[in-house]
Structure 1
Amino acid sequence: MPPRSISRPLALASAVALSATTAVVGATAAQASHPGNGSVLSASNGTNTIRFNNGSTLRLNTGDPTVTTATGAAWAPDGSRAIFATENGEIATIRHNDGGNYWWLSPPPEDNGPVIRYRDPVYRSEGIGVLWSAKEPGSPWRIEAQVASGGFYPRQLTPADGRHYLNPDSGPGALFVYQSQGGTVDTPSGTSQVGVFDGDSFDTILDDATNPSISPNGKRVAFVRGGQIHAANIDGSDVIAITSNAVAHDHPTWSPDGNTVAFTNGTGVATAPANGSGAANPTVVAGLSGTPSYQPQRRDTVARLAGSNRFGTATAVSQAHWATASDQNDPRQFADAVVLSRSDLFADALGGAALAAAKQGPLLMTPPTALTAAAEAEIRRILPTGKTVYLLGSTGAISTTVENRVKALGYQVKRLAGQNRYDTSITIANEVNPNPDYVLAATGADFPDALAAGAAAGSFNLPGSGSSAVVVLTNNKTLPAGTKTYLDRVQSTSLIFGIGVQGATATGPYDPIPVAGDNRYQTALFAAWVFFGGTDYAGVATGVNWPDALSGGALMATINGPLLLTRGNQSGLSIEPEVFLDEHSGSLDTALIFGGTGVVSTGQQAPIGAWISGPGGYTVVQNPTNVGIVGLPRGTSAQAATAAEPSRVRTAEELKAAAAGLEERLAQH
Structure 2
Amino acid sequence: MTTAACMAVGTACFAVPGAQALSISATTGSIALNSGSGVQTVQPDGSGATTVAGIPNSGGISTAWAPDGSRVVSGGQATDQLATARVTGASSPVTVGWPQGSTRGSTYQDAVYWSDGSYLLSSTGSELLYGPSDNSYDPQPLLTSVQEPAADCDTQPTTSPYGTVAFTRTAPCGAATSAIWTYDPTADTVTQLIANAADAEYSADGTQLVFTRAVDGVSQLFTAQADGSGVKQVSSDAADHLHPSWDPAGGRIAYDSRDTATGATTVRVENLADGSTSTISSTGEKPSWQPVRDNTLDRVYGTGAIGIDDAASRWTFDTAGAAHQDGLIAARSAVLVNKDNATYAAPAVSLAAEKQAPVLMTSTNAVDASVSAELTRSLPKGSTVYLVGGTNLLGTGVADQITALGYKALRLDGTDLAAVSARVATQITAAPKWVFVADGSDYHDPIAASTAAGALGYRGLGVVLLTRGTTIESSVQNYLNSLDPATTNLVTVGTNALTAMETTPLSKQWSFWDVSGSSNEITAVNLAKFWWAAPNVATVQDTWTWQNAVAGNAVTATYGPALWSTVDVLSSNSAAYLAQESASVQNVQTFGGNDAYSVQNRADIGNAIGISSTYLSTVWAAGGNLPAPAATTAKSAASPLTTARTAVPAAPASPAAPAAGSASRSLIDAHPARTGARVSQR
Question: What is the TM-score with the length of structure 2 in the denominator?
Answer: 0.82
CA offset digits 1:44-78 (Å, max 9, x no partner): 3442232222522332444x9x6678632211111
Which of 239, 242, 245 aligns to 2:234? It is 242
Partner of 1:424: 420
Match of 1:84 among 74, 87, 90: 74
Query: Which of 449, 456, 459 is residue 453 of structure 1 equivalent to?
Result: 449
* Aligned equivalent of 1:41: 31
In the alignment, which of 633, 643, 646 is matched to residue 641 of structure 1? Answer: 646
Inter-CA distance 619–299: structure 2 relative to 1 (3 Å threshold) = same
Quote the Cα distance in structure 1 between the aligned partners of 2:367 and 2:206. Answer: 51
Q: 1:407 aligns with which of 403, 409, 425?
A: 403
Per the alignment, do residues 601 and 498 of structure 1 end up closer, same or farther by CA in structure 2, a change over 3 Å counting?
same
Q: CA deviation at 1:638?
A: 9.7
- Does 2:657 align with 1:657? no
Question: Contact (CA 8 Å) 2:299, 2:592: kept in 1 or not?
Answer: yes
Is the contact between residue 78 and residue 296 of structure 1 (CA under 8 Å) also seen in structure 2? Answer: yes
CA separation of 1:300/1:653 partners in 2, compared to 1, >3 Å: closer, same or farther?
A: closer
**Aligned amino acid, residue 494 of structure 1:** T
Question: Hey, what's the Cα distance between the residues in 2 that align with 1:303 and 1:243?
Answer: 45
| Contact preservation (8 Å) 2:129, 2:142 | yes
Query: Which structure 2 residues correspond to residues 381-400 of structure 1 after superposition, within 5 A?
Result: 381-400=377-396
Counterpart amino acid of residue 142 in structure 2: L
Separation in 1 of the partners of 2:557 and 2:574? Answer: 17
* Alpha-carbon distance in 1 for matches of 2:160, 2:469: 49
- 1:48–1:70: 8 Å Cα contact kept in structure 2? yes
2:88 is matched with: 97
**Aligned partner letter, 2:668:** V
After TM superposition, the score normalised by the length of structure 1 is 0.83
Return the match for 1:283 from 267, 278, 297: 278
1:233 is matched with which residue: 225, 243, 265?
A: 225
Task: Tell me which residue corresponds to 2:463.
Answer: 470
Tell me, in whole angstroms, the C-alpha distance in 1 between the residues paired with 2:645 and 2:279. Answer: 45
Contact 1:43 1:50 in 2 (8 A): yes
Match of 2:543 in 1: 543
SS in 2 for 1:118: coil
* Structure 1 residue aligned with 2:195: 207
| Structure 2 CA distance for aligned equivalents of residues 116 and 515 of structure 1 | 34
Q: In structure 1, what is the equivalent of residue 561 of structure 2?
A: 562
CA distance in 2, matches of 1:632, 1:515: 40
Confirm or deny: 8 A CA contact 2:300 2:311 kept in the other structure: yes
Q: Is 1:500 aligned with 2:494? A: yes
Check 1:310–1:134 CA distance in 2 against 1; reply closer, same or farther (3 A cut): farther
Alignment match, 1:575 = 572
Deviation of the 1:112 alpha carbon:
12
Structure 2 residue aligned with 1:165: 154
| Residue from 184, 191, 206 that aligns with 1:198 | 184
CA distance in 2, matches of 1:387, 1:623: 27
Match of 2:609 in 1: 612
Q: Which residue of 1 aligns with 2:6?
A: none
Aligned with 1:244: secondary structure? coil
Contact 1:539 1:591 survives alignment (8 Å): yes
- How many angstroms does 1:268 deviate by? 1.8
Measure how far apart 1:114 and its partner are.
Answer: 9.9
Shift of 1:296: 1.4
Partner-residue secondary structure (3-state), 2:364: coil
Deviation at 1:241, TM superposition (A): 0.5
- Which residue identity is paired with 2:589? L
Query: Matches of residues 183-332 of structure 1 in structure 2 within 5 Å?
Result: 183=172, 188-199=174-185, 200=187, 201-226=189-214, 227-266=219-258, 267-274=265-272, 278-279=274-275, 281-286=276-281, 289-307=284-302, 312-332=307-327
Write the distance in 1 (CA, Å) between the matches of 2:501 and 2:401. 40
Q: Choose 231-240 or 320-329, whichever is displaced more.
A: 320-329
Provide Cα deviations, 1:146-189, integer angstroms capped at 9, x if missing partner: 222222233422232112111111102321111111345xxx44
SS at 1:649 equivalent: helix
Of residues 468-477 and 47-56 in structure 1, the stretch that sits farther from structure 2 once superposed is 47-56
Q: Is the 8 A contact 1:333 1:632 kept in 2?
A: no
Residue aligned with 2:94, SS: strand
Q: How far has the Cα of 1:111 moved from its partner?
A: 11
Aligned-partner residue type, residue 180 of structure 2:
V
* Counterpart contact for 2:333–2:358, Cα < 8 Å: yes
Q: CA separation in 2, counterparts of 1:268 and 1:451?
A: 55
Alpha carbons 2:538, 2:588 under 8 Å: kept: yes
Is residue 578–residue 611 contact of structure 1 (8 Å, CA) maintained in 2?
A: yes
Q: What letter corresponds to residue 268 of structure 2 in structure 1?
A: A
- 1:98-137 equivalence runs, <5 A: 98=89, 100-104=91-95, 106-107=96-97, 116-134=106-124
Deviation at 1:376, TM superposition (A): 2.0
Equivalent positions of 1:61-76 (< 5 A) are: 61-62=53-54, 71-76=61-66
Work out the CA distance in 1 between the residues paired with 2:340 and 2:271: 63
Structure 2 residue matching 1:212: 3-state secondary structure: strand
Report the residue type matching 2:393 in the other structure.
A
RMSD of aligned alpha carbons: 3.2
User: How far did residue 546 of structure 1 move?
Assistant: 1.6
- Aligned partner of 1:439 in structure 2 is 435
Q: Which amino acid aligns with 1:164?
A: C
Name the CA shift for 1:238/1:639 in 2 (closer, same or farther; >3 Å): closer
Distance in 1 of aligned mates of 2:455 and 2:271: 45
Amino acid at match of 1:40: S
In 1, Cα distance between the equivalents of 2:26 and 2:635? 19
Tell me how far apart the structure 2 counterparts of residues 630 and 443 of structure 1 sit (CA, whole Å).
Answer: 47
Q: Secondary structure at the match of 2:401?
A: helix
Alpha-carbon separation, structure 2, partners of 1:113 and 1:169? 21
Asked if structure 1 preserves the Cα contact closer than 8 Å seen for 2:349 and 2:450, the reply is yes
Distance in 2, Cα, partners of 1:366 & 1:485: 31
3-state SS of the aligned residue for 1:657? coil
**Which residue of structure 1 aligns with residue 586 of structure 2?**
589
Deviations 1:225-249 (Å, cap 9, x if unpaired)?
1111111223322210121111111
CA shift, 1:462, in A, is 3.9
**What are structure 2's unaligned runs of at least 5 residues?**
1-22, 259-264, 504-509, 652-665
* 1:34 shift after superposition: 6.3
Q: Secondary structure at the match of 2:647?
A: coil
Partner SS state of residue 351, structure 1:
helix
State the AA in 2 paired with 1:191. Answer: T
The change in CA–CA distance for 1:632 and 1:533 in structure 2 (over 3 A counts) is farther
Whether 1:57 aligns to 2:57 is: no
Q: Distance in 2 between the 1:653 and 1:325 partners?
A: 35
Q: Distance in 2 between matches of 1:270 and 1:327?
A: 56
Give distance in 2, aligned partners of 1:531 and 1:409.
Answer: 39
Instruction: State the partner residue of 2:335.
Output: 339
